């Protein structure tokens, strides 16, 4: 059997950003509305600074306004909630992103609950979580959906087309990745199994999957003989390991070299799911701006 086709997340994300940029241009030209993304970073975590800077830069490249809020690590929860309330009421802001993790003295659940669900471009507000959980197959996704899961769903649709009736096994049940991925695949008419650290005989279960999504956070945990020949394998994991030059390199949760000759389609790490996350944030912000002026949402899955 020939090697798996690699799913080029960089190219698919570039296509999505182009689509968003064009859509933003139309919104500005026809409605005079420029989508606005407010990013909030509390503290000076270096990785978070890189993420927030990159999100702001890409938003600007796509014609959106980025309102960049940097707050000191000692910011109180009350001050952060007051900023969010102000942004909720600001008509120029269509999306609010609070970079996680927050300092330990701030209750993340309080903060996520404070964001207006219409501006919740991360899709973490319980109202939006509930909407995803109760949305029927085929119904429009007219609410924000978490970015990485939306990216996974887009990669699968772009690569496989309709996935009706496929058995999808999702390893990982976090609110950030595993659960929303499973909800999106259920909406796409897959038969979905969610696995986690207490699942029995994970290799045998994984071997039943037509679509295997892995979001665990353990390097090369899924081996080649866990994969059904021809399956589509989406590796969400990002694990940093030291390379020969004393720097860090990224590896996924799937043993890539072992998976390559077995899978039908496979995402590389890096260059698979990662680039889709920020592109989907831009998509969500564009969609939030469209909804704010009463326009229908664009197809997302």
Chain contacts with ligand NAP (rule: CB under 6 A): 148, 171-174, 176-178, 195-199, 202, 215-218, 236-239, 273-274, 277
Nearer to ligand NAP, 191 or 239 (CB): 239
Enumerate the β-bridge partners of residue 194.
170
Enumerate the β-bridge partners of residue 96.
38
Establish whether 107 is a catalytic residue.
no
HSE on the CB side for 247, CA within 13 Å? Answer: 3
Nearer to ligand NAP, 112 or 118 (CB): 112
Q: In the bound complex, what is the minimum distance in angstroms from residue 275's beta carbon to ligand NAP?
A: 8
Handedness of CA 109, 240, 208, 11 (dihedral sign): positive
User: Minimal CA–CA distance to 86: which of 129, 42, 50, 40?
Assistant: 40
Q: In the bound complex, what is the minimum distance in angstroms from residue 300's beta carbon to ligand NAP?
A: 17
What DSSP designation does 224 have? G
Q: In the bound complex, what is the minimum distance in angstroms from residue 203's beta carbon to ligand NAP?
A: 10
The total of other beta-carbon atoms located within 10 Å of residue 44's CB is: 10
Establish whether 55 is a catalytic residue.
yes
Nearer to ligand NAP, 202 or 227 (CB): 202
Handedness of CA 116, 121, 126, 132 (dihedral sign): positive
- Between the alpha carbon of residue 47 and those of residues 3, 41, 87, 242, the distances in Å are 34, 11, 24, 17
- Between the alpha carbon of residue 2 and those of residues 100, 230, 264, the distances in Å are 41, 10, 9
Q: How far apart are alpha carbons 176 and 124 in whole angstroms?
A: 8
Q: In the bound complex, what is the minimum distance in angstroms from residue 19's beta carbon to ligand NAP?
A: 19
The total of other beta-carbon atoms located within 10 Å of residue 75's CB is: 18
Distance of CA 92 to the CA centre of its chain: 24
Establish whether 8 is a catalytic residue.
no
Nearer to ligand NAP, 35 or 178 (CB): 178
Q: Which two tokens stand for residue 191?
A: 């038969």
Nearer to ligand NAP, 36 or 237 (CB): 237
Q: In the bound complex, what is the minimum distance in angstroms from residue 99's beta carbon to ligand NAP?
A: 13
Nearer to ligand NAP, 83 or 186 (CB): 186
Q: In the bound complex, what is the minimum distance in angstroms from residue 86's beta carbon to ligand NAP?
A: 28
Cis peptide before 18 (omega within 30 of 0): no
Q: Considering 8, 122, 210, 253, which one is annotated as catalytic?
A: 122
Residues with a known catalytic role: 55, 99, 122
């Amino acid at each position: 059997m020939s090697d798996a086709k690699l799913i080029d997340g960089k190219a698919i994300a570039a296509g999505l950003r182009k689509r968003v940029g064009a859509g933003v241009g139309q919104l500005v030209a026809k409605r005079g509305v420029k989508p606005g993304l407010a990013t909030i970073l509390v503290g000076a975590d270096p990785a978070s600074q890189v993420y927030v800077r990159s999100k702001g830069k890409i938003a600007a490249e796509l014609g959106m306004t980025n309102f960049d809020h940097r707050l000191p690590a000692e910011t109180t929860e009350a001050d952060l909630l007051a900023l969010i309330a102000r942004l909720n009421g600001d008509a120029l802001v269509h999306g609010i992103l609070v970079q996680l993790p927050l300092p330990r003295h701030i209750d993340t659940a309080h903060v996520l609950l404070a964001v207006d669900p219409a501006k919740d471009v991360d899709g973490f507000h319980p109202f939006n979580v509930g909407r995803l959980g109760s949305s029927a197959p085929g119904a429009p996704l007219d609410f924000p959906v978490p970015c990485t899961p939306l990216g996974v769903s887009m990669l699968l649709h772009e690569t496989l087309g309709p996935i009706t009736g496929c058995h999808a096994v999702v390893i990982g049940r976090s609110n950030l990745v595993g659960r929303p991925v499973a909800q999106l695949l259920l909406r796409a008419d897959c038969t979905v199994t969610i696995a986690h650290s207490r699942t029995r005989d994970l290799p045998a279960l994984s071997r039943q999957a037509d679509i295997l999504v892995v979001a665990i956070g353990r390097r090369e945990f899924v081996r080649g003989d866990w994969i059904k020949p021809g399956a589509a394998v989406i590796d969400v994991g990002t694990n940093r390991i030291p390379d020969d030059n004393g720097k860090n390199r990224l590896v996924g949760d799937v043993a890539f070299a072992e998976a390559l000759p077995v899978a039908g389609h496979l995402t590389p790490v890096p260059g698979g799911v990662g680039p889709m996350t920020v592109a989907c944030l831009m998509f969500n912000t564009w969609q939030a701006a469209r909804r704010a002026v009463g326009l229908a949402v664009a197809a997302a899955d």
